[in-house]
């Protein structure tokens, strides 16, 4: 009877399908956050490589990052909460450069009682 007991049972196959569907569903729930993360990183790199950025004030740099986020259609950071999420520090790299940090968090609901909290913080320095 051992020759009839080889292979995957139907219940095992159903379990693998359920786990696979759950994994794909979870990926689709979290994927937009990571795409947003890449867009924020691209905006910060664009500001860092801007030759005019060193001449701008902290508020102008915050506005430059905010405008870049608006162009990429990211609405998590608004004009009202911009100062809470975008910080600029001067005096980096021997007193000449700046450091811009964007930080925020997003809660992704999985079901009524379970959710993922994604925290994002990206910092770039310009000499």
The CA angle 33-42-85, to the nearest 5 degrees, is 65
With a cut of 60, say whether residue 111 has pLDDT above it.
yes
Domain ranges of the chain: 32-126
Nearest-angstrom CA–CA distance, 31 and 19: 18
> Region 46-53: what's the mean pLDDT?
86
Q: Tens of pLDDT along 60-94?
A: 888 898 898 889 888 778 888 888 888 888 875 55
Residue 3 or 37, more confident: 37
> Region 10-34: what's the mean pLDDT?
90
Side-chain-side CA neighbours of 92 within 13 Å: the count stands at 15
With a cut of 90, say whether residue 110 has pLDDT above it.
no
Please state which of the ranges 35-39, 42-46, 48-52, 76-80 shows the lowest mean pLDDT.
76-80
Residue 96: Cβ within 10 Å count: 11
pTM: 0.73
């Amino acid at each position: 009877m051992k020759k009839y007991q080889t292979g995957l049972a139907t219940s095992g196959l159903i379990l693998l399908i359920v786990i696979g569907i759950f994994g794909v569903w979870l990926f689709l729930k979290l994927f937009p956050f990571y795409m947003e993360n890449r867009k924020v990183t691209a905006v910060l790199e664009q500001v860092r490589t801007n030759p005019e950025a060193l001449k701008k004030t902290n508020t102008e740099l915050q506005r430059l990052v905010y405008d870049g986020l608006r162009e990429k259609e990211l609405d998590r950071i608004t004009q009202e909460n911009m100062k809470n999420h975008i910080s600029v520090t001067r005096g980096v790299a021997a007193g000449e450069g700046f450091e811009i940090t964007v930080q925020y968090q997003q809660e992704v609901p999985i079901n009524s009682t379970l959710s993922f909290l994604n925290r994002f913080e990206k910092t770039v320095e310009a000499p």
